[in-house]
Amino acid sequence: MLGTRLPLVKILSFKLRENHFHLILKQEIDDGIRIFMQRAGIAMAKRFNEKYQEVGALFQGRYKGKLVEKDDYLMHLSVYIQVKNAFEEYPGGLERATQEFDKAYEWASKDPYNSLGDYTGNRNSPIISKDVLKQMFPTPYSYKEFAKQCLLSANLDDKLDKLRID
């Protein structure tokens, strides 16, 4: 009988963009994030190369990451990844999405390339670990209201600026 493998990371949230992606990961074992990102990069490159008959790396350089040490930062980062990034893809862009917040939020929650639907109840993906953010936002409504406050007050970028990855 094979032993049970421990997960490398928990995936708290994600958003896949046209040419990059965002993840919030919680490391479960030493060096888990590095190993996970290495394996994910290899798997994505392999799949892409097979599908499009290409060869070589898919991404330039190593992944970029930052340690999140404060709950406040994690809360704002989750909105940046799941809501703001989706709103930038909304028909009419971020400004229109912010003006039509409720409609745009519902639209974003149905995006299959975004974990927001797991927090709104539209989806229940087995790869998303909701326990950490659910402690901060016990209901879908509380998360939505926090996201609205962040985007309408236009302070989200300011909150995240000091830890921005360029």
Average pLDDT, integer, range 138-159: 86
**pTM to 2 decimal places:** 0.86
| Residue spans per domain, the chain | 71-161
Question: Tell me, what's the pLDDT at 120?
Answer: 96
pLDDT over 90 (residue 64): no
pLDDT range class, residue 161, cuts 50, 70, 90 = low
pLDDT over 90 (residue 33): yes
Q: What is the pLDDT of residues 80-123, one digit of tens each?
A: 999 999 999 999 999 999 999 999 999 999 999 999 999 999 99
How many Cβ atoms sit within 10 Å of the Cβ of residue 110?
A: 13
Question: Tell me, what's the pLDDT at 148?
Answer: 95
Side chain identity, residue 18: E
pLDDT over 90 (residue 3): no
